[in-house]
Copies of this chain bind each other. A is one copy, B any other.
């Protein structure tokens, strides 16, 4: 029998109005009978919603952390914000996991303080599953939580990434590659060369570490896990995002330049929507904080009911698959 999981969902998170988040919660509840939701946010948003939906409970908060606030300052000063209150509910066991489409920095800061790290984990980090050519996805971390990473931390990132790939991608023995400025093992900054050495030593005969990879491999589906520090990881993902935006802007210009192209773009348009949603990471529910005592998921800021639904269900699946326990076992097995 599958135990029901309770996911706390931040109704105030994201660039959209709370109605989008609420529609996503409704869709998630309709899709899964094993889900209950603790909805945190302004009283006039969460109380009426929960009064009309089974398997929901309202948690009233009075403050909201905006997308552009300084993360740690906001978390410290807004103790009654939906993010801080929601993560406190996870700490006390009122909820098993958390989902918000709010500020990544604020959620990371509040979760590190509020939920706490798994025993043995040196640094929590942020992972996401990116799509790849031929339908094969890759778990990518760290997305930006740790700008500087020691080699022993990078080894832990690899273990955490493997645990996540097993759970979300269903891969039995995930391969791990290190992002660098060339595939050859002699390529890399001084930091990357030291990380390469530590990963090779940790992998040893098990052979899950397959060496360096390049930025072109990020969306190529060649590796199950790609690890890097949060500085390069953020730059890589933001460069992909910028490229996608550039291509969309160019397609608009091309479409506007002639009736032939306008017709072509109009015919293709419905197909392109799925592509944008794939690249935004909504498919797997957004980004997952790894190394914490409970699953915490962050949705894309410019969200949709579908993206919220996927995020809430991904948090529920992480609970059901015991991701936190698996990750702890993987990290603690390391000498």
Interface residues, chain A, with chain B CB atoms under 8 Å away: 70, 131-133, 144, 147-148, 179-182, 184, 187-190, 192, 214-220, 228-247, 249-251, 254-255, 257-258, 260-261, 263-269, 271-272, 274-275, 278-279
The reply to whether A188 and B220 form a contact with Cβ atoms under 8 Å apart is no
Q: Is the CB of A275 within 8 A of B250?
A: yes
Point out which of A219, A230, A239, A267 has the most chain B C-beta atoms below 10 A from its C-beta.
Answer: A239
Q: Which 7 A-B pairs have the closest CB atoms?
A: A215-B238, A264-B267, A264-B268, A181-B234, A215-B239, A219-B246, A254-B271
Sample of 17 further A-B pairs with CB below 8 A, known A215-B241, A243-B247: A133-B249, A147-B187, A179-B235, A180-B235, A181-B233, A181-B235, A192-B231, A218-B239, A218-B242, A218-B243, A220-B242, A236-B236, A251-B275, A258-B271, A260-B267, A264-B264, A264-B271
B246 and A188 contact, CB distance less than 8 A = no
In whole angstroms, how far apart are the Cα atoms of A131 and B171 in the complex? 38
Q: What is the minimal beta-carbon distance from A330 to any residue of chain B, in angstroms?
A: 26
Interface of A is mostly: helix
- Least CB distance from A119 to B in Å reads 28
The residues of B that contact A184 with a CB separation of less than 8 Å are 70
How many Å lie between the Cα of A81 and that of B261 in the bound state? 46
Contacts of A275 in B (CB 8 A): 247, 250-251, 254
Contact B272 A263 (CB under 8 A): no
